[in-house]
Amino acid sequence: SVAFLDLFEFMFRLHKTKTIDPLLWQRWHKLIQMFLTIPKFKKIWDETKQSHTTEFIEFFDSLQDLGKNS
C-alpha cells in the first residue's frame, strides 16, 4: 500500500506540473478515490502520510473529506 501512495504522489506531481495528459490524470484520480474506500488503505495513509509533501497530503485528505460527506 505504501508503494501505491508513492505512485499516487508521483502521478499527482505530474498532474500539477502539467506533464501528464488530463484524461490520464482523471483515470488516476478515480483510482485514488477507489482506494480510499478500502479501510486498511486509509489506515496506512494515516500512519505514513507525514512522509509525503504538504501539497499531496492536502489533496489526499480533501478526497477523504469528500468521501465522508457522500
Grid-cell match 505514513, residue found = 48
Predicted TM-score of the model (pTM): 0.88
Q: Is the pLDDT of residue 1 over 90?
A: no
pLDDT tens digits, one per residue of 4-36: 999 999 999 999 999 999 999 999 999 999 999
With bands split at pLDDT 50, 70 and 90, how would you rate the model's confidence at 49? Answer: very high
Give the per-residue pLDDT at 67: 59
Q: How far are the Cα atoms of 34, 47, 57, 64 from residue 22, in angstroms, in the given order?
A: 18, 30, 21, 22
